[in-house]
Structure 1
Amino acid sequence: GPKRPQDRIDLPAMKEAFRTALTAPVGPKGFGLKKERLQATGTYKDDRGHELDLKHGDVVIAAITSCTNTSNPSVMIGAGLVAKKAVERGLKVKPYVKTSMAPGSKVVTDYLHEAGLWPYLDALGFNLVGYGCTTCIGNSGPLPEPVAKAIKEGDLIVAGVLSGNRNFEGRIHPLVQANYLASPPLVVAYALAGTVDIDLTTEPLGQDEAGNDVYLKDLWPTSEEIQALINESVKPEHFRKEYDGIETSNETWNKIKIPEGSIYEWNPESTYVQEPPFFVDLTPETPPIHAVRGARVLAKLGDSVTTDHISPAGAIPPDSPAGKYLQSKGVRPIDFNSYG
C-alpha cells in the first residue's frame, strides 16, 4: 500500500511509511498533505452517542476478502485464532471500523465452524456478507453516514485494510484513500487497533478488561496451533458437500431466463452491455489495412497508470457520467451495482 499492490511494507515499518506518505508528493506513495493539516480531525458520534475524533490513518474498512487469500486455510485459521484470543481477552473492534467476511468458497465457513472459530470472528464483526467479490472490487457498500461525515469534515486520509490483491486509488471506496493489503490475521489486528498509524510489533493494539496492554504477539498463533486445527477441521467431506452438484443446486440461479441459440441476442434496452459498433458490419473477409491519419490522442499517461485508473472498478457515484446515464434510463442509484 497505500495505492499499489507491489509496494510492500514490512510490518515494523508500517507506522513510519504511513506518516511519510501523508506529506510525500502526490503519487504512488504520497498524498501531498500540507504539514498544517496533519492534526486534522473529524467528529464521529457512535451508536451510544459518544463522540470520537477521527484522524488520519484511522481504519474505517477491515475486510477479510478475496478468493486468493481465503483459499488458504493457514491464514483463515490464523485469523480465527487471532479473533478467538482477542475475544477471550475482552478486546473489541473500534466502533468506526466497517468489518466484513467474504470467502471465495463455502468450504471456508464449513471448516471455521468445524474448528470452533466462527463465533469469535462473528463477535468481532467479521460477519459473512457473501461469497466472492466484495470489498476488493469496490463492493464494500457505503460507510456509516456518521463515519463518512467525519471523513469529509476533516478531509481525512483514512485507511482500509483488506486481504484482497489490488488496492488502486478509488477502487476500495471513494472516501478511503489509503488502502493496505494484508493477511487475514493482520486484518483482524488492524481492526482491533483501529489505525495504521501504529507499529504493531512494539505498541499495544488495545487493553483487556483489566486495563492491561495487549500486543499482537499476545494474540498471534504459532504454526503448530494453526496446523493442528487444519488437520482437525479441513476435511474432504466439506468439499464434497459444497461442490457435488454445484451446477444444479442453486435454484435461484437456475430460474434465471437466458436466451437460446449460439449467437448472443443484443438487447437495445440493456444498461449493462450494448453491441460494440466496431463489429456491426464485420465480414468473414479481412478488409485491407489503411493508414491511420488524423487520429487524436485519447490519453497520454505517465508511469503506474493502470486500467483501474482509466476505466474504474468499484462503486458507481450517482453524480458521475455513468451514474447520470443510468438514472436517465430509469435505474435507481440503489440498483447501480458496480463497475466491476
Structure 2
Amino acid sequence: MTGMFPMTRLRRTRASAWSRNLHRETVLTPADLIWPLFVTEGAGVEDPIGSLPGVSRWSVDLIAARAREAAALGIPCIALFPNTQAERRSENGEEALNPDNLMCRAIRAIKQTCGDDIGVLTDVALDPYTSHGQDGLIDGAGYVLNDATVEVLVGQALNQASAGADVIAPSDMMDGRIGTIREALESAGHANVQIMSYAAKYASAFYGPFRDAVGSRGLLKGDKKTYQMDPANAEEALREVALDLAEGADSVMVKPGLPYLDIVRRVKDAFEVPVFAYQVSGEYAMIEAAVAAGAGERDALVLETLMSFKRAGCSGVLTYHATHAAKLLG
C-alpha cells in the first residue's frame, strides 16, 4: 500500500461518528414520513389487526389523537383507510359517496382537532365499499369497468375534498381518472386539493394484511391483474406516470416499496417530480416477523429500509412504522 501517489483511503471519512454524519449523502427525517391509519365504527375502539402486529383500527372518536401524535413527532401527513361494515358494502360501492361515511367523519374529526397542523391524505378506490372487493364496478363476468368506475371515483373524491381532505390519492388504477378528478376538483372550488396518484401500483403478493385491515380479503372475487400492473413491467410504469402527470397529478406513488426501488429510481430520473413509495402491509409484516423470530433488530431494520427509499429518490414514504421511526429520528 505504498507508492509515489497520494494514498486514497475511503475509510478515513468513516472512522468516527461525527465524520460519518458530515459525509452522509442521504438524510431521513420525520418530515419524510406519512402514517397510514385505519378507521372503524364504534366509540372508544382500538381494534388490533392480527396480520399487522402493532397496528390497530381506530374509531372516529380516537383517530384525532393519532393525528395529534403524528404532528407532535414531526410527521407532516397521515393517510386514512376505512374498514366499512359489511352491511354498508354493496355491489356498486354507494357508501363511498355518503358524506357521513367513515372516511368523511374521520377527516372532519382530524381537521376540527388539528386544523392545518397535519395533512390528511385519503384513498380513492371502491374496494373498501364493494361487496365483491374489487376497486371498481364490475360487469356480469366480473370484469372491472373503467369509465363507469371513474364516474363514481369522481364523486368519491369530491365527497372527501368537501369533508376537508388535503390530498386525494386515487389507488384504483383506472385509466383517465386523474384528469377527470382534477377537472372536477377545480370546478367544485377545490383547486388547492392535491392529487397524489398511485401511478405505478403493481398486482402484488404483499397486500394481504391490508385487505384484512379494511375487511376486503375474504370478499375479493378473482384478482386485480386486469388493472393493477404486472410486476414484470418497468417501461409500462413510466408510461403510467407520464399519463398521470399530464392529467394533473401533483405527485406520484410507486407501490409496493422495497421490491420496486428500481421503479422509484427510474421514475425520479425520468420526470424529476415528487415520487412517493408505499412500504406496504406485507413489507411491514415481514419486518415484524423477522424481529419476532430473532432474525433482526427492529430499530435498525426500520431505519435501513426507510433510508433505502430516500436513497432511491423518494420525497416521502407511507409506512406503518412512521411513529416508531419518527421517535428514533427525533
Greater fraction of residues in helix: 2
Whether TM exceeds 0.5 here: the answer is: no
Greater fraction of residues in strand: 2
TM-score by length of 2: 0.29
- Structure 1 or 2, whichever has the larger Rg, is 1
